[in-house]
């Protein structure tokens, strides 16, 4: 099976390419490198010992996409390409709607013209808004998103659902990720945020390596066991393997399917700091600050459906997630620039 991986030079994409190649899939990556660099692809090649065919291509570029699809005979697409910075999306909503929505519409149109009607889409727990219940099952109603990034995911889920309904030849799998952290065991690929990290784990690792002075914990007055926000952190390699399992569903011609990819366990910010310190022996200085606008108290998955239907569950625990995040950061203090 030949798989087109959009956004395959990025954090989750690069880890998924490793797992796909390890399972014997033919993989072709396209990426416009707006939030990544080709070095990640070279490092994936080192890990797997296989070539990763790569095209620098924007998913908005209809002509180039068509040329690539004329040349390569894809069976399915795993679609990671997109902009993902929550705060930036509030400042630049047009750019987010254009890139994520118009980009996906273009991609899907070129796919159907080439009779490639299998897609796995990177969605997010953010579509549940402030979730109606916890743990969050796939039946939990979609909620009100607090930023344009979240709306792009929510809207694209609807777009892909409607396309599948109108043409049952499509197989569409929506994967709702919880909070990916960690890195490949080799410590050679990992998350490489631009500028000051928005997300907790890269902020912690950059503090631990001395690039940031201290971590600010956004609020300790939530209704959680210690007052800090609770999330479902999942090792990126487990997440990547979830995509390999989802491909098996595509082969079964399953129509439209939706799965949460999380561990089913919630950890608070203070739990993460403690686990990081225990796993690495490195102190993380922190201060308590005000709540971050748009944050919710608690968000963790029911991972049952993915287990029952895909035979997938997360294998790595929180200590390993912390240790692997740190291994990547300390070996590459400046990310792929090292």
Cite the active site residues.
149
Choices 44-52, 110-118, 162-170, 194-202 (CB under 6 A): range interacting with ligand UFG: 194-202
Question: What is the smallest separation between the CB atom of 207 and ligand NAD, expressed in angstroms?
Answer: 19
Question: If we measure between CA atoms, which residue out of 207, 300, 230 comes closest to residue 262?
Answer: 300
How many residues touch ligand UFG under the rule CB under 6 A: the total is: 21
Comparing CB distances to ligand NAD, the nearer of 163 and 299 is 299
Can residue 178 be called a binding residue for ligand UFG (CB under 6 A)?
Answer: yes
- The span from the CA of 317 to the CA of 95, in Å, is 36
Q: Pick from 142, 292, 305, 313: which binds ligand UFG (CB under 6 A)? A: 292
If contact means CB under 5 to 8 A according to the sort of partner, which of ligand UFG, ligand NAD, none does residue 13 touch? ligand NAD
Comparing CB distances to ligand UFG, the nearer of 117 and 231 is 231
> Contacts from 49-56 at CB under 8 Å and sequence distance 24+?
50/21, 52/8, 52/17, 52/21, 52/27, 52/28, 53/27, 53/28, 53/29, 54/8, 54/9, 54/28, 54/29, 54/30, 55/28, 55/29, 55/30, 56/30, 56/31, 56/32
Comparing CB distances to ligand UFG, the nearer of 19 and 88 is 88
Q: Pick from 229, 242, 264, 266: which binds ligand UFG (CB under 6 A)? A: 229
If contact means CB under 5 to 8 A according to the sort of partner, which of ligand NAD, ligand UFG, none does residue 33 touch? ligand NAD
Comparing CB distances to ligand UFG, the nearer of 3 and 217 is 217
Question: What is the smallest separation between the CB atom of 197 and ligand UFG, expressed in angstroms?
Answer: 7
Choices 23-31, 35-43, 97-105, 198-206 (CB under 6 A): range interacting with ligand UFG: 198-206
Question: If we measure between CA atoms, which residue out of 268, 315, 316, 318 comes closest to residue 288?
Answer: 268
In sequence order, the 6+-apart residues with CB closer than 8 A to the CB of 304 are 137, 264
Can residue 231 be called a binding residue for ligand UFG (CB under 6 A)?
Answer: yes
Can residue 269 be called a binding residue for ligand UFG (CB under 6 A)?
Answer: yes
Site for ligand UFG in 117-136 (CB under 6 A): 124-126
Provide the binding-site residues for ligand NAD, judged by CB under 6 A: 6-7, 9-13, 31-36, 58-60, 80-84, 99, 103, 122, 124, 177, 179-180
Question: What is the smallest separation between the CB atom of 286 and ligand UFG, expressed in angstroms?
Answer: 8
Question: What is the smallest separation between the CB atom of 93 and ligand UFG, expressed in angstroms?
Answer: 15
- Contact positions vs ligand UFG (CB under 6 A): 84, 86, 124-126, 178-179, 198-200, 203, 215-218, 229, 231, 269, 292, 295, 299
């Amino acid at each position: 099976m030949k798989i087109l991986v959009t956004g395959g030079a990025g954090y989750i994409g690069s880890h998924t390419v490793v797992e796909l190649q390890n399972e014997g899939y033919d993989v072709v990556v396209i990426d416009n490198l707006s939030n990544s660099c080709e070095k990640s692809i070279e490092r994936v090649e080192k890990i797997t010992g296989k070539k990763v065919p790569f095209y620098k291509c924007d998913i908005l570029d209809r002509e180039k996409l068509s040329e690539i699809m004329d040349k390569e005979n894809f069976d399915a697409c795993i679609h990671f390409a997109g902009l993902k910075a929550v705060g930036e999306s509030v400042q630049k909503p047009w750019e987010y709607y254009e890139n994520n929505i118009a980009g996906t519409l273009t991609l899907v149109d070129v796919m159907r013209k080439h009779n490639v009607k299998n897609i796995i889409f990177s969605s997010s727990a953010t579509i549940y808004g402030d979730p109606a219940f916890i743990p969050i099952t796939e039946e939990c109603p979609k909620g009100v998103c607090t930023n344009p990034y979240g709306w792009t995911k929510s809207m694209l889920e609807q777009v892909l659902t409607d396309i599948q309904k109108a043409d049952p030849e499509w197989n569409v799998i929506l994967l709702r990720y919880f909070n990916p952290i960690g890195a490949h065991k080799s410590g050679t690929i990992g998350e490489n945020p631009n500028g000051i990290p928005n997300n907790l784990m890269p902020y912690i690792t950059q503090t631990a390596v001395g690039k940031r002075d201290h971590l600010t914990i956004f609020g300790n007055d939530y209704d959680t066991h210690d007052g800090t926000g609770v999330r479902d952190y999942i090792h990126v390699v487990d997440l990547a393997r979830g995509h390999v399992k989802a491909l098996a569903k595509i082969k079964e011609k399953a129509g439209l399917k939706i799965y949460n990819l999380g561990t089913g366990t919630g950890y608070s910010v203070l739990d993460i700091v403690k686990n990081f310190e225990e796993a690495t022996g490195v102190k993380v200085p922190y201060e308590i600050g005000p709540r971050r606008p748009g944050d919710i108290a608690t968000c963790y998955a029911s991972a049952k459906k993915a287990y029952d239907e895909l035979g997938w569950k997360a294998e790595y625990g929180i200590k390993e997630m912390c240790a692997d995040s740190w291994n990547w950061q300390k070996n590459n203090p400046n990310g792929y620039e090292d």
